[in-house]
Amino acid sequence: MRAVTVNVHRRVRDPSASEIMKTIIEPFRIKVVEPIKLTTRDEREQLIEAAGYNPFLLRADDVIIDLLTDSGTSAMSSEAWAAMMRGDESYAGARSWYRFRDAVNDIFGFEQVIPTHQGRAAEHILFGIMVQPDSIIPNNTHFDTTRANIEFSGGNAIDLPCSEAEDLDSEYPFKGNMDTAALEKLVAEKGPVRIPIIMVTITNNSGGGQPVSMANIREISRIARGANIPFYIDACRFAENSQFIKRREPGYENTATIDIAREMFSYADGCTMSAKKDAFANIGGFLCTNDAALAQRERNLLILTEGFPTYGGLAGRDLEAIAVGLHEVLDEHYLDYRLLSIRYVVEHLRELGIPVVAPSGGHAVYLDARRFLPHIEPLQYPGQSLAVELYVEAGVRTVEIGTVMFGADSRTGEECAARFDLVRLAIPRRVYTQSHMDYVLEAINLVWERRSDIRGMRIVRAPQFLRHFTAEFDWI
Ligand code: F0G
């Protein structure tokens, strides 16, 4: 891999050990490789048309660089693979369950741990019990599965992002924060009967992968506890959020990242977690609480839909991989590399004048499709057009996070522009090297240079819930 340098002192200061050298290196060696099939532009034009212009409907083999998601796509370590061989597949009380439970306890600190096959299963169980028709669940920004599970249970999912997040260019270091004044007002107006849970998502995926500060988490906790409302953390990217606190929040410079994680969860009453993100696992998740009676009801549902309480929806080997991954992800050298490698892409895009969400976030780069393609109206899905063009240009698969994902009310079917039209380039953990990222930068720049020729799109067909996964499109 050729050495490419980036001046790590520019813009947001995230000082790290790697500042001694300017070249970012991947802090791991590659032992197993998977070939990438290269396609031509003509082939890709046909393939994306056959997929209804929805990158989710492509065959993965037809993708050159797959930035659709950082979920379940990580490279596991030799330690995790070795642990998988030790997986105990006993139906009840397996050794692997105890390893998993102890790893979760050590970091998250909740009394009750419920394994699930992925994050949304944890959400489904939690909201199935806690949400009543007309319940209100505030969050900094709900991820799409969280919102859909709340709406499916009859509740209202409310986003309360901080005002700094409105300006995609602002360098505010914690743009994932919740607007706690708005939360306090909502809680005073509606009270604990209407608001069964307060949530915060770390990092704020739908809001640009931006972190939430410890001060913000503490304040949400204060408001929730004052009103006797359980406070839950959507913990998918807890390690990345912890490292941002270490690098950006005064007072945490010298705190071990694992202790930052422990402090964050100490302010909460429970969490939902997708182990497919910050646990390097290909599958898995869990639900935690300190409320034993609630956990009993959750386990009853778990047995109905996921499995016995000591494995949830997981094999013993998956439990082992997660137990290893949860500690491995808190390696501070890995986390510094992770944050710097995302920043490398963001900084280069800004140098090219390409509109991108600033400052750089934890797991993904977010292009601002509304400013990239200002001639395309939000209801003609500029993010979808851009995602399609990135695939056609270079076989890079990305996802629209905008009006396709959030613009339709699942109950009324009415459409309106989402807050933003972004295209997310989610970077799988430990999978792609810097030269892959240089290829992606070149692809984005080629699309940027021909942006005025790009057209908007219309939806040909779409389901009622989570339409972005399966909707089909055509050019306008
Ligand atoms: N919460 C957040 C913040 C997420 O990003 C996701 C998944 C989930 C919950 C649900 O977890 O997939 O294990 O059921 N995000 C993936 C993504 C799909 O691409 O961002 P899951």
pLDDT (0 to 100) of residue 77: 97
The mean per-residue pLDDT over the stretch 71-100 comes to: 97
Residue 446: is its pLDDT beyond 50? yes
Residue 472: is its pLDDT beyond 90? yes
Establish whether residue 69 lines the binding site of ligand 1, counting it when its CB lies within 6 angstroms of any ligand atom.
yes
How confident is residue 465, by pLDDT bands cut at 50, 70 and 90?
Answer: confident
pLDDT (0 to 100) of residue 476: 94
The mean per-residue pLDDT over the stretch 101-130 comes to: 98
Q: How far is the CA of 274 from the centre of ligand 1 (A)?
A: 6
Establish whether residue 274 lines the binding site of ligand 1, counting it when its CB lies within 6 angstroms of any ligand atom.
yes
Residue 1: is its pLDDT beyond 50? no
* pLDDT tens column, 37-65: 999 999 999 999 999 999 999 999 999 99
Average pLDDT, the chain: 94
Residue 121: is its pLDDT beyond 70? yes
Question: Among the atoms of ligand 1, which is closest to the Cα of residue 285?
Answer: 13
- Identify the residue whose C-alpha is closest to ligand 1 atom 11: 119
The proportion of the chain whose per-residue pLDDT surpasses 90, expressed as a percent, equals 90
Please indicate whether residue 407 or residue 13 has the higher confidence score (pLDDT): 407
Q: Determine contact, residues 231/225, Cβ cutoff 8 Å.
A: yes
- Identify the residue whose C-alpha is closest to ligand 1 atom 12: 119
Report the residue among 68, 126, 143 best suited for mutation to probe ligand 1: largest number of ligand atoms under 8 A from its CB: 143
How confident is residue 93, by pLDDT bands cut at 50, 70 and 90?
Answer: very high
The mean per-residue pLDDT over the stretch 329-338 comes to: 96
Residue 17: is its pLDDT beyond 70? no
Q: Is the peptide bond before 359 cis (omega within 30 degrees of 0)?
A: yes
How confident is residue 411, by pLDDT bands cut at 50, 70 and 90?
Answer: confident
Residue 409: is its pLDDT beyond 90? no
Report the residue among 56, 126, 145, 147 best suited for mutation to probe ligand 1: largest number of ligand atoms under 8 A from its CB: 145
How confident is residue 347, by pLDDT bands cut at 50, 70 and 90?
Answer: very high
Establish whether residue 118 lines the binding site of ligand 1, counting it when its CB lies within 6 angstroms of any ligand atom.
yes
pLDDT (0 to 100) of residue 20: 61
Residue 339: is its pLDDT beyond 70? yes
Residue 2: is its pLDDT beyond 70? no
pLDDT (0 to 100) of residue 304: 95
For the ranges 232-246, 254-268, 291-305, 396-410, the lowest mean pLDDT is seen at: 396-410
The mean per-residue pLDDT over the stretch 298-312 comes to: 97
How confident is residue 19, by pLDDT bands cut at 50, 70 and 90?
Answer: low
pLDDT (0 to 100) of residue 208: 83
How confident is residue 363, by pLDDT bands cut at 50, 70 and 90?
Answer: very high
The proportion of the chain whose per-residue pLDDT surpasses 70, expressed as a percent, equals 96
Establish whether residue 143 lines the binding site of ligand 1, counting it when its CB lies within 6 angstroms of any ligand atom.
yes
Establish whether residue 284 lines the binding site of ligand 1, counting it when its CB lies within 6 angstroms of any ligand atom.
no
Residue 217: is its pLDDT beyond 60? yes
